[in-house]
Structure 1
Amino acid sequence: MRVAVVGAGFSGLMFAVALARAGANVDLYEEHERVGFPEHCTGLVSLATVRLIGRPAERSRLAAYEGFIISGPRHAVRLRTSEPVIKLDRVRLEQEMLDEAVREGVRYRPGAKVRVTPEGTVLPEGREYDLVVLAEGYTGRLRRSLGIGYTAQPLYGVNAEVEGSSQGDFVALFDNSTSRGLFSWYVPMGSTSLVGTASSEPRLLQPLLREAMKRFGLEGARVSRFYGGPVITGPPAERLRLGKLIAVGDAAGMNKPLTGGGLYPSAKAAVLALSMISDGVDLLSSAERALLAVSRELRRSYHVSKLLHARPDIVDMLAEAAEASGLARAVSGRVDYDVHYTLFTASIRSLRAPLGAAMLTLRSLEGAAKLLGALIRDAMA
């Protein structure tokens, strides 16, 4: 089996390692000379995702959190996760993953700008492959020219690394004064912290970030660096495959709809594909089925996520009702940070759910109806 992976970002590296372990001869093409740059991801994942990634993630850990805070403009709720949430050094992670890929026999080809055909040919070398994995990111030109992968418009995100000691939980703040179309965030990391925001309009990032820093009590703090990039919140692409080509990662819109994170979906899809190949499923079918399975999972929280992004007032009502009804305490410790629908399903199954729903309805019948409609649409996905 011969495989070409185009793009040595996280998704490309994850699939390159998995397919090499499945026995394939893997060539990894990367147009840049270094991996991990430019840095743009906050790098928060569950401990379960760290296990999926393996040793590179273990060696890239920066901090751990037992829970997180979801806040609207006025009300907030703290939730404890079923396992710790881990902050990863994204640059080191991809460097460690590349080292692991080379140890697994992957042939790394940096500085290579290639073209591909649906028949599995990589040009200009003319090499033929049984599978070509397009992991070229959101801005990739290959899958766009071929009409596969993610085509929707992303948000734009920015992180500010702030100097000074910090501790506690990380915070997701849903408020139109600090973000548009997502949320702003605060991630304490000991000697530094991250403050970030996102918007569909890049021109708004500077004022939104300034307001976010003010809300998190860091107005005037010294910022050591800024970094950012596109934030994809789905839905996953409808068309992932063309002939022997298959799009993965950001190129396929395989990102968590609430936060835009892409590490968990790609890690799970790669590990699932490896398992299927080990069970005798052919190479192309394994990759495609794994991606479709993860895509279905991501869609289970898509409409609720979009509602919360657009309506911070509903986040406020949910936080207030969850605290007052005891629902927050009931679901705390049962939430998987990377599998967002577990928060919604744990809430619905709780004995406190009827009281929480009643309190939410009393606060806003319209908001409760919108939330119920989104939950039903996600359940049918």
Structure 2
Amino acid sequence: MAQKGISPGLYPSCSVMRCDVAVIGAGPAGSMAAKHAARTGAETVLIEEHPSIGHPVQCAGLLGVQAVEASEIPLGSAALHPVCGAAVWSPGGRILRFNASRVRAWVVDRRLFDRALAVEAVRAGAILQVRSPVRRIRAQGDRMVLDITGGRSISARVVVTAEGVMARIARQAGIGPSHVVLSGAQADVPFQVEDAGRVEVHLGVSPGLFAWVIPTGPASARVGLCAEASACQHLRRFLSSPPISSRLLGSPLGLVFGGLPMGPPDRTWAHGAIAVGDAAGQVKPTSGGGIYPGLVSARIAGRVAAEAALAGDNSASRLSEYDRLWREEVGRELVVGMRLYRLMQGLSARETDQLLELLSRPKVVRAIEEHGDIDRPSRLVARMLPALGWSSLELVGLLRLALR
């Protein structure tokens, strides 16, 4: 078992650190994979390019209750407040409000959340190396070598790459890209919050996904969106639009931007390496959230990587077990989500308004409030079908097709 501890990456220049499993990226997926690799008995190193965990933040910080459960930690001070409702704005200005009787999600401080997960990985036995950007991956005999900036290297039997959407090391290892990568931007703003327990979804703001308003306190919110391109420009226009500008209490306090991968590659494994989280496109296309599928997949990745390393078999065929297992757990949700995403992308503004009119029926609203689940949207769609009735046969047919 590896010695528990945190290292700033200051071991002598040109030295080679040897381990069973090396995990690239100390975000939620990487830390979870490292924890379970170490728990399985593998000497594990968790590699983070930045000097601290949880920075920079590249996430809206809204976790469904299943994602919280999958994190295997109490939220504690990372929890800002619960979310029980949502308001969906149509392109034509119609607002559809939902109010669930129980907590559906939590708004969290991602810095604290990410750090708590990394601490759990270290407690399990992983060694954390910060300030360690990985430049390339290469095979050397029966091991994989990671060359790190500054002349250092880490030699591992199996590499788990949780490096995020760019996934440069995953590409070098032979793992393909996601099917779609959107551009995302988000600002922390002083904001007139009407109900901190309700998030907002704005449809038709930009081509790509949707815009959101997530309250972080009584007078602050995260306002962001995803687009096919130029997310920052779309965000500036959104912040200037009447539904948002009328509630701004000041200038944005911070801006983050990045990519959002959707649609996993055909395989998330290669000789000596597996990909997890954003690097594997394990993101829900209906919401853009990747914490839940990433954590579930990372737990599997850590165990499979450790077992393969300890058995001395890092072959592609051995590591393909990971791909099969994670798809059994969350793959169907991603497939259904991608179909729903493409269905929504094909709707005009007028058709989107008509869709919200259908969803405003009392029976449908009750179904959404009772069964709404941002982590498992297919379950909600299945519950909505009976409530839609026979007067919307075309929509019912499309939704049934998405669920196949």
The yes-or-no answer on 1:122 pairing with 2:145 is: yes
1:209 partner amino acid: F
Q: 1:121 is paired with a residue of what secondary structure?
A: strand
* Residue aligning to 2:24: 6
Compared CA separation, residues 39 and 16, structure 1 to 2 (3 A): same
User: Aligned-pair distance for 1:245?
Assistant: 0.4
- Cα shift at 1:150: 2.5
- Residue 106 (structure 1) shift: 0.7
Deviations 1:172-209 (A, max 9, x none): 1102xx32211111112323112212222226334433
3-state SS, counterpart of residue 138 of structure 1: coil
Cα contact 1:50–1:58 (8 A) shared by 2: no
Task: Give the corresponding residue for 1:16.
Answer: 34
Q: Tell me by how many angstroms 1:323 deviates.
A: 1.9
Give the conservation status (yes or no) of the 8 Å contact 2:213–2:222: yes
| Counterpart in the other structure of 1:171 | 200
Q: Give yes or no for the alignment of 1:344 onto 2:371.
A: no
* Structure 1, 143-152 or 254-263: larger mean CA deviation: 143-152
Q: Paired residue for 2:181?
A: 154
| Deviation at residue 85 of structure 1 after TM alignment | 1.0
Residue aligned with 2:370, SS: coil
Q: Partners of 1:30 and 1:198 in 2: how far apart?
A: 26
Output the CA distance in 1 between the equivalents of 2:265 and 2:75: 27
1:289 and 2:324 correspond: yes
**Higher alpha-carbon deviation: 88-97 or 221-230:** 221-230
CA contact (8 A) 2:21 2:157 kept: yes
How much does 1:152 deviate? 4.0
Structure 1 pair 56–30 and aligned structure 2 pair: CA distance change class (3 A): farther
Q: TM-score, normalised by structure 1?
A: 0.85
Following superposition, the deviation at residue 18 of structure 1 comes to: 2.2
Partner of 1:46: 64
Q: In the alignment, which residue of structure 1 is the partner of 2:389?
A: 354
Runs of 4+ aligned structure 1 residues displaced above 6 Å come to 274-283
Alignment partner, residue 292 of structure 2:
264
Question: How far, CA to CA, are the matches of 1:20 and 1:130 in structure 2?
Answer: 14
8 Å CA contact 2:191–2:248 kept in 1: the answer is: no
| 1:273 shift after superposition | 5.3
Q: Which residue of 1 aligns with 2:260?
A: 232
Q: Residues of 1 paired with 2:143 and 2:307: CA distance?
A: 24
Q: Which runs of 5+ in 1 are unaligned?
A: 362-367
1:83 & 1:220 partners in 2: Cα distance? Answer: 27
Deviates most, 78-87 or 102-111: 78-87
Q: CA deviation at 1:279?
A: 11
Contact 1:182 1:198 in 2 (8 A): yes
What TM-score, normalized by structure 2, do the two folds share? 0.80
Deviations 1:52-89 (A, max 9, x none): 11326344111111122233123333334564210111
**Percentage of identical aligned residues:** 26
1:309-349 residue CA offsets vs partner (Å, 9 max, x unmatched):
4524333222211223632223421121211212211112x
Which amino acid is 1:344 matched to? Answer: V
Following TM superposition, by how much is the alpha carbon of 1:12 offset from its aligned partner in structure 2, in angstroms? 0.8
Alignment-mate amino acid for residue 343 of structure 1: L
Native 8 Å contact 2:199 2:214 kept in 1: yes
Match of 1:131 in 2: 158
Q: Kindly provide the amino acid, as one letter, of the partner of residue 365 in structure 2.
A: A
Partner Cα separation in structure 1 for residue 222 and residue 133 of structure 2: 34
The answer to whether the Cα contact below 8 Å between 2:358 and 2:388 also exists between their aligned partners in 1 is no
Give the equivalent residue in structure 2 for 1:86: 106
1:60 correspondence with 2:78 = yes
Pick one of 233, 241, 251 that aligns with 1:223. 251
C-alpha contact 1:210 1:219 (8 A) present in aligned 2:
no
RMSD: 3.0
Q: Is the 8 A contact 1:5 1:28 kept in 2?
A: yes
Task: Give, in whole Å, the separation in 1 of the partners of 2:80 and 2:176.
Answer: 32
The number of aligned residues is 364
Which residue of 1 is the match for residue 16 of structure 2?
A: none
Q: Residue 35 in 1 paired to residue 53 in 2?
A: yes
Output one character per residue of 1:182-239: Cα deviation in whole Å (capped at 9) or x when no partner. Answer: 1111112323112212222226334433345x22354553134232223425111112
Kept in 1: contact 2:22–2:159 (CA 8 A): yes
Question: C-alpha displacement at 1:117, in angstroms?
Answer: 3.0
**C-alpha spacing 1:313/1:2, structure 2 compared with 1 (3 Å):** farther
Q: Is the 8 A contact 2:82 2:103 kept in 1?
A: no
CA contact (8 A) 2:33 2:303 kept: no
**3-state SS in 1 of match to 2:209:** coil
State whether residues 20 and 157 of structure 2, in contact with CA within 8 Å, keep that contact through their aligned partners in structure 1.
yes
Distance 1:141 1:273 in 2: 19
